[in-house]
Amino acid sequence: MNIYPDLYVTSVKNINSELLKKNNLSGLILDVDNTLIDYYRKLVDGAEQWCEELKNDGIKCIIVSNSHKRDKIETVAKKLNIDYILFAKKPFKSGFKKALEMLELKPENVAVAGDQLFTDVLGARRMKMFSILVKQVGEKDIFITKIKRPIENAIVRRYLKKKGAKIDVF
């Protein structure tokens, strides 16, 4: 299965309602670690306002995280004022399916945004949802991600070189 994302963005904040609506998307599933927060749990600057604007524009947002650390994920969810699913086991489908139920949307109308090919993008592809790879926030990864990251980076570099890859350039 192809694990290239539909779109690559250098920050989650570059995802806007215009872009989503253009692709018939009215829901956004968000990863947390290295997408919305860095290793030290610092939220991306301006994320609250960014999320608020999306919601005001009619985009339903939800967090789907593989983390089992409730306090960490809940803190982010509260700041963004959105629901969350913990221990989602991405790229498996169960967490995504639950999210779709909560959003009351069909997979073809939902985008998944995250920093990892083997969880976020692969999961989105398996669900037939729109996939957005987000450049990781910060350099530092949790242990398991650290192992996968060089492989992912090699694939991403190949993708970015590919003609026609959809990338935001800022």
Report the nearest approach of Mg ion to the CB of residue 35 (Å): 5
The pair of three-digit structure tokens given for residue 49, joined into one six-digit string: 């306002």
CB-closest chain residue to Mg ion:
33
Distances (CA, A) of 148 to 10, 63, 90, 96, 135: 19, 22, 14, 22, 15
Report the nearest approach of Mg ion to the CB of residue 33 (Å): 4
The pair of three-digit structure tokens given for residue 116, joined into one six-digit string: 């990892």
Provide the binding-site residues for Mg ion, judged by CB under 5 A.
31, 33-35, 115
End-to-end CA distance of the chain: give it in Å, rounded: 30
At 107, is the secondary structure helix, strand, or coil? helix
Pairwise CA distance, residues 94 & 96, whole Å: 5
Report the nearest approach of Mg ion to the CB of residue 12 (Å): 11
Q: Which is nearer to Mg ion, 59 or 145 (CB)?
A: 145
Cα torsion 23, 170, 12, 80: sign: negative
Q: Which is nearer to Mg ion, 45 or 108 (CB)?
A: 45
Per DSSP, 135 falls in state P
Q: Which is nearer to Mg ion, 35 or 131 (CB)?
A: 35
Contact 23, 15 (CB under 8 A): no
Q: Which is nearer to Mg ion, 11 or 26 (CB)?
A: 11
Q: Which is nearer to Mg ion, 115 or 152 (CB)?
A: 115
Beta bridge partners of 114: 133
Q: Which residues contact 106 (CB under 8 A, 6 or more apart)?
A: 100
Report the nearest approach of Mg ion to the CB of residue 136 (Å): 7
Report the nearest approach of Mg ion to the CB of residue 31 (Å): 4
